[in-house]
Amino acid sequence: MALNLRQSEILDLARADGRVLVEDLAARFGVTLQTIRRDLTDLADAGRLERVHGGAVLHARVANIGYAERRQMNAGAKAAIARACAARIPDNSSLFLNIGTTTEAVARELLGHRNLTIVTNNLNIANILAESESCDVIVAGGVLRRSDGGLVGDLAKEAIEAFKVDHAIIGTSALDADGDLLDFDSQEVRVSRAIIRQARRTFLVADHTKLARAAPVRIASLSEIDTLFTDRRLPAEMARKCAEWGTGVVVSSG
């Protein structure tokens, strides 16, 4: 499907915010509600968005969005989340960093830290941290997933299980209303679960668009996470659950 200029911008807005509303879009573009509804229907028919009452959300598919595309989505918010998370990591500590564009942003923020030992199953993170002469980087072996530089499978899981670290910093593809972290690849999920088990504290870095997405494989619950770093206030029910579970929430605006 060839998108017109308005449809392309609608898709960009959906990628940034997770969802778009018919009335907001009509006001933004100065067109009728019916025109926006036709745009959203066209985008939904092309598999780019999923229609919901009053608007549309990013398509809840069983395959993840392309990695290069994800890097551009909500980049400013991811950078703010990364700064807040990195500020909680002391020098002279050990940590895991797993696959994800937000964990890559954290790696960039850690370049000014000293005497870190970092274990990762993400080749992109290893390359970022190679710039620091003060960080020891250990790459977990595994099957290379060329689409994003991730190392997954049983070899990666076994490599992770050889360590016990101070902090794990993980990402997720989706975060549902029950507070469950979700992903698309069962091999990656097994590695993420091992990372959580082998860390004394676990930080989740996830921007608000993850709340509008779905994925089929469960990683863990927010109840197993020490602190969630995000860019918008959580829905009231999820915030209540985090308070009950003792899961801290840090909101950083991009």
> How confident is residue 63, by pLDDT bands cut at 50, 70 and 90?
very low
Alpha helices in the chain (DSSP H): 5-17, 22-29, 33-45, 67-72, 75-86, 101-109, 123-129, 154-160, 186-197, 236-245
CATH topology of domain 5-58: Arc Repressor Mutant, subunit A (1.10.10)
> What is residue 76's predicted lDDT score, i.e. its pLDDT?
87
Q: Where are the domains of the chain?
A: 5-58, 67-251
State pTM to two decimals. 0.75
Is the four-CA dihedral 245, 225, 155, 213 of positive or negative sign? positive
pLDDT in tens, 94-142: 999 999 999 999 999 999 999 999 999 999 999 999 999 999 999 998 8
User: What counts of helices (H) and strands (E) characterise the chain?
Assistant: 10, 15
Q: Which residue has the tokens 């990628």?
A: 15
Average pLDDT on 188-204 reads 96
Name the CA dihedral angle for 87, 93, 99, 101, rounded to a multiple of 10 degrees: 20
Specify the pLDDT at position 59.
60
Crossing angle for the helix pair 33-45 and 22-29, to the nearest 10 degrees: 110
- Asked if 193 and 187 touch (Cβ cutoff 8 Å), the reply is no
pLDDT tens figures, 12-43:
788 766 778 999 999 999 999 999 999 999 88
Among 6-15, 83-92, 106-115, which is the least confidently predicted range?
6-15
Tell me how far apart the alpha carbons of residues 197 and 181 are, in angstroms, rounded to a whole number: 15
| Architecture of the structural domain at 67-251 | 3-Layer(aba) Sandwich (3.40)
- Residue 225 φ then ψ, to 5°: -105, 135
